[in-house]
A = this chain, B = another copy of it.
Amino acid sequence: MRFEVLILGSSSATPIYGRHPTAQLININEQLYLLDCGEGTQVQLIKYGIRSNRIKHIFISHLHGDHYLGLIGLISSMHLVGRKEELHIYGPPALQEIIDLHFLHSQTVLRYPLLFHPTQDQTGESILENEHILVSSFPLDHRIACTGFRFDEKKRMPTIDRTKTEAIGIPTAYLPLIKRGNDYTASDGTVYRWQELTLPPPIPRSYAYCSDTVMTERYLPFIQGVDLLYHEATFLHDMLNRAVETFHTTARQAGQIATKVQARKLLIGHYSARYKDLKPLLEESKSIFPNTDLALEGNWYNV
């Protein structure tokens, strides 16, 4: 099953050096989810060949402009190209007020249902579940209310070991039952345990997204053991004071966090405009957590 992240925006506050404000697209089994939506996200989607109407769920971490100012343009364009399907938006309660105020004054009545789900930044919370995934939000520590998001793939059923079932001659009608954990009794009375007839499913994968936060212990339990951890790394560690003052993280700290939570891989982003060259950020994080990669726009990252 596909589980990948496309970076649409990797810049912090201002667009610069061809980098855009934060947005990421998650593809889980061809279902698309958008994480944050900085200004210009709809143009980035076009650039990377993504039809925006394939997106069904948008998650906004917080109300700093570089994380949501592309949202109204995107939902307006979805309306203009004739979307009919529901769109779910998850974000701080005030985001609904902002969206409503815009559509009040532009006198727009969307042609599709927009369902708003307010998030809160006090505790971790499951916010979406479907056949493939469970999405939860969790509190980050930023200057204003901010949540991270975690995507956990659901445990899948085992797959049938066809070589065995065919050798025994089990009719295909029984296979779904075996997948669900039922043993098979042959006509001669032999009982085959379902475990013998199946192969173990792939281990569920997980992705956590920490958009803007100062480094604290509080949110670490929520990102424990993720396969891929995206964590902001706005500054190099020589700017630690500035990072703390602005409630951001350094590349070294991102590496420390990935180590602490035993992530398999770390992706850093949200680069300050002071870094045209990103190599020093990558090297600093790698010195602590070797399996670090830079979030680069247009790249897909496997979870």
Q: Contact residues of A with B, CB < 8 Å?
A: 13-16, 20-21, 39-40, 42-43, 46, 63-66, 69-70, 72-73, 76-77, 80-81, 92, 94, 97-98, 101-102, 105-107, 143-144
Contacts and interface: CB of A to CB of B under 8 A. Distances in A.
A105 B72 contact: no
13 contacts: A13-B76, A14-B42, A14-B77, A15-B42, A15-B46, A39-B73, A40-B43, A63-B105, A65-B73, A65-B76, A66-B73, A94-B105, A107-B143
Given A73-B39, A77-B13, A81-B14, A101 B106 contact: no
Contacts of A43: 15, 20, 39-40
Number of copies: 2
Contacts of A70: 39
Given A39-B70, A46-B15, A64 B106 contact: yes
Contacts of A92: 105
A54 to B, nearest CB: 16
A21 B70 CA distance: 13
B39 A42 contact: yes
A106 B46 contact: no
A20 B80 CA distance: 15
Given A46-B15, A46-B16, A98 B102 contact: yes
A106 B63 contact: yes
B65 A106 contact: yes
A-B residue pairs, 9 tightest by C-beta: A39-B73, A63-B105, A94-B105, A14-B77, A40-B40, A65-B76, A69-B73, A15-B43, A107-B144
The listed residue with most B CB atoms (<10 A of its CB), out of A16, A102, A106, is A106
A174 to B, nearest CB: 52
B101 A105 contact: no
A144 B72 CA distance: 18
